[in-house]
Structure 1
């Protein structure tokens, strides 16, 4: 049974997947799902050609396996539990191997036949950097013992399923890159149907929510918006005046992002140190006012305890480019037509029941909002409008309730992920953004210049979805909420001077495709994924 505190640490996307799985198997909540039993049944079904239960596809099967593996490694990663359950096993292997240099063990080959949880427990007990998976049938952990011909010293080489693995390394943190979404804002896509028109009352309501002049003054004192360098003026478009009060950071957004900055300080404050200089922090923002103000808020929270600080903090620079590389480059119309663009995926990847439910919901929304049949229903515009209304207590349109809002969010999330995970589309829209991130991290690793300790890249929700798709980082079925951050920690091995990337999504460790065995991904693997994406042919 899943403990509440463990559920809070669950991998990204777990909540939505668990609800869907629970409905399929008839469990009321994630606590009622016997994850190991369910996985075991499905593994056997797959191995012997039996059909999965209706509604369970291979994507959900993979999520079940990933989540149960995460649970196992969380469980056996707790040393008290691991010691209590498998100390005898570790002692037996240790005694056997230590007998080789002592001369009491004389065999050339030894076999220890055990179970999947035996391997997981043993790997966690020895802190081996093995894949965070449940070992498949026949999986092997091999210890090769070598003796140096000259010195007589003994060495151990460890392999998991034929691949060499290591014990815990001596790594030091060199840089932290934070790629984040802006904070809470007023609506952007305001036209969602003939029955939902902006009134003066609603316009005044949103005007009362935007960040106050007093807040903005503090943010500008914290960090100054500039162009590509301090000699150039910032690129800001559209201007706040041209869109007021829509698409702007709210008072709530400033407060939330400032609080996020304080959370980052808790984790990285000691790393940055007290005697901070302007060049210790690199900041690049999308050219939209709300992203600039959001990263100013993060910096305010990170470097200032409150209205004042006892530590002298310089004014930082927020760089902007004339070409906005941090925002995916495609027409706004794409958001109105996502369902049409990915129609082949809708047909091939969603069940008949799911398609029918969305068609029924679409008809209901068209009636409630006043969207004609010959016009695409913009699921994104509906979701955006409802998200802003819910966040600030403005009522939903008549006929739309919380349940409908949740259904719209789940479906639009799926549509976004299908769109941005198409390599050709994502490459055309966001190759410049990926190139910017890759080039910056490459400069850190190569130490090409005096590199900052901390960098912020302030962007949008679709920027994050595109970046995750481009670098093949799976965070489950979710869209980035306001302030969501993808963090890349750059670590250096003190002994070998090799570099590793440790990726996080909202503070939880995630992994790159092809590297699930270790939270510390070799920079070379990250680089191969980035270059694979950047060399996609249109």
Structure 2
């Protein structure tokens, strides 16, 4: 054996030894710090074949606060900027990554590979950072291959973190996979009608005295469900950060006299009442099949197409999707709410920070041609930092003839899942379906309108000329009587 082969052999031995040592070390840490993980043993009746996870970003600051709303002073209360992750949000996202790793440890293995894991994020900072933190928690550099400490300056970080690629979409407002902001006049018109329903108008009327009080504090009108919902969202974030309105002392000017009458108990009761408006907003804004189609259809069908590609290599969702074992999607509460309502599994509760949907594809051991979908929802995330394991809730999809493998294991056949989501296929022609006319079409329409106006004017002008001429001719046919 020549010297090159000897060194290659020794290198392989060292790598294997290092991986085994790391696995043993991680295993010991698991025993000390965490309880048992979810596993798929040889006794199970199905084999886990693919996982797709959709999660909301971590805790954030308000998207926008302007005077005279309390705590509008960004430099003092929100120095990280509006719409950015808080320290709590970052820590919880990292912990969620650790717990997801533990939950799927038997399926994923410990080494990160770009050929097995795909991460897609909404283009907003808070979503990208959440994806980074979850990956850092789920995939620590646990082998010499993963560590990049080739210098003393990088060694501390290289032992704790490894970079992972995250795909995003620019411009953000054109992203129909992970956002619901792409302009669609038809959907927006339907949404406005839904938000202005009789039920929502009654809710506004019922709490009009409270809303009048808030209008005096905010110097703004609160006439719609969305306006009140935004007030609740900001107040909720402020309370999470220890900022109560009744304690606020503005840097300049005087605060509203209304706030001096509040106490912590009364303010928490006000927040509880305002929460009804945010629930009403989410209940209403996706209560239409066309809205579900344009706001949830693309992501839902991507999930379905990828599951189909796992069943048969002859029908991959795309060449790049064929070999992945895990897809991660970092998104917003609105997208998760759209998915939950489209699948008819929403529990009338707001999607919390780091709320997570886990779509699993299972293959039957008894009949290898049979595949099943199982859906899990993690919607209790407030105590993630103290959690020792994930405890998601299984969601049974209505309309699906669930197959029971045991008392705790109901699954939806893949073909039935695909059939149920088929009506919500995303539009093939977005502009046509949404009632958007192209610039060329608009220009042609304007020109046609101008042509019609000009022809009409010419017609009336011609008629006027003919009338004048006829009058002159008729007058010239008579003689004055003497």
Query: Counterpart of 1:361?
Result: 210
- Structure 1 Cα separation of the partners of residues 192 and 209 of structure 2: 15
User: Residues 5-20 of structure 1 correspond to what in structure 2 (within 5 A)?
Assistant: none
In structure 1, the residue matched to 2:446 is: none
Distance 1:317 1:411, change over 3 A: same
Is residue 320 of structure 1 aligned with residue 168 of structure 2? yes
2:179 is aligned with 1:343: no
Q: Is 1:490–1:502's contact at 8 Å kept on the other side of the alignment?
A: yes
Which residue in the other structure is 2:24 paired with?
none
TM-score by length of 1: 0.54
User: Once structures 1 and 2 are overlaid, which stretch shifts more, 180-189 or 415-424?
Assistant: 415-424
Aligned to 2:158: none
Q: What is the CA–CA distance in structure 2 between the aligned matches of 1:182 and 1:500, rounded to whole Å?
A: 28
What residue number does 1:444 align with?
A: 310
Give 1:464 deviation, angstroms: 0.2
**What residue is the counterpart of 1:162 in the other structure?**
none
The 10-residue stretch of structure 1 (283-292 or 382-391) with the greater mean CA deviation from structure 2: 382-391
Match 2:398 to one of 506, 510, 513: 513
Q: Match for residue 488 of structure 1?
A: 359
1:457 is the counterpart of 2:306: no
2:23 aligns with none
Q: 2:61 aligns with which of 180, 183, 186?
A: 186
Residue 410 in 1 paired to residue 258 in 2? no
TM-score if structure 2 supplies the norm length?
0.60
Q: How does 1:103-502 map to 2 (within 5 A)?
A: 170-191=45-66, 195-196=68-69, 199-200=72-73, 202-207=74-79, 210=80, 245-304=81-140, 309=142, 312-313=145-146, 315-322=163-170, 323-324=174-175, 325-330=177-182, 341-344=194-197, 346=199, 356-372=205-221, 378-396=227-245, 398=259, 399=262, 401-447=267-313, 448=316, 450-472=322-344, 474-497=345-368, 498-502=370-374
- Is the 2:110–2:142 contact (alpha carbons within 8 Å) kept by the matching residues of 1? no
Preserved contact between residue 257 and residue 294 of structure 1 (Cα < 8 Å):
yes
Which runs of no fewer than 5 residues in structure 1 stay unpaired? 1-167, 211-244
Structure 1 residue 253, shift from structure 2 partner: 1.2
CA displacement at 1:407 relative to structure 2 = 1.7
Q: Do 1:487 and 1:504's aligned partners in 2 also have CA atoms closer than 8 Å? A: yes
Contact 1:475 1:510 in 2 (8 A): no
Pair 1:504-2:376 in alignment: yes
> What does residue 524 of structure 1 align with?
415
Using the TM superposition, give the Cα deviation of residue 431 of structure 1 relative to its aligned residue in structure 2, in angstroms.
Answer: 3.1
Question: By how many angstroms is 1:369 displaced?
Answer: 2.3
The CA deviation string for residues 360-404 of structure 1, in whole angstroms up to 9 with x for no partner, is 433332233222367876123112211210121122253571111
Which is greater in Rg?
2
CA drift at 1:321: 2.4
Q: For 1:311 and 1:258, locate their aligned partners in 2 and report how far apart those are by CA, in whole Å.
A: 22
Paired residues of 2:60 and 2:83 also in contact (CA < 8 A) = yes
- Stretches of structure 2 that go unaligned for 5 or more consecutive residues are 1-42, 147-161, 247-258, 379-391, 404-409, 428-432, 435-482
* Deviation (angstroms), 1:532: 1.2
Offset of residue 184 of structure 1: 0.8
Give 1:203 shift.
Answer: 2.9
* 2:18 counterpart residue number: none
For the residues of structure 2 that align with 1:203 and 1:516, how far apart are their CA atoms?
55
Task: Indicate how the Cα distance of structure 1 residues 444 and 494 shifts in structure 2: closer, same or farther if over 3 A, else same.
Answer: same
- Deviation string for 1:416-437 (max 9, x for gaps)? 1221132222323343333333
What pairs up with 1:41-80 in 2 under 5 angstroms? none
Cα distance, 1:531 vs structure 2: 1.1
Residue 199 of structure 1 deviates from its aligned partner by 4.4
- Residue 503 of structure 1 deviates from its aligned partner by 0.1
C-alpha contact (below 8 Å) 1:386/1:405 kept by paired residues = yes
**Root mean square deviation, CA, Å:** 3.1
Tell me if the contact between 1:371 and 1:377 (Cα under 8 Å) persists in the aligned partners: no
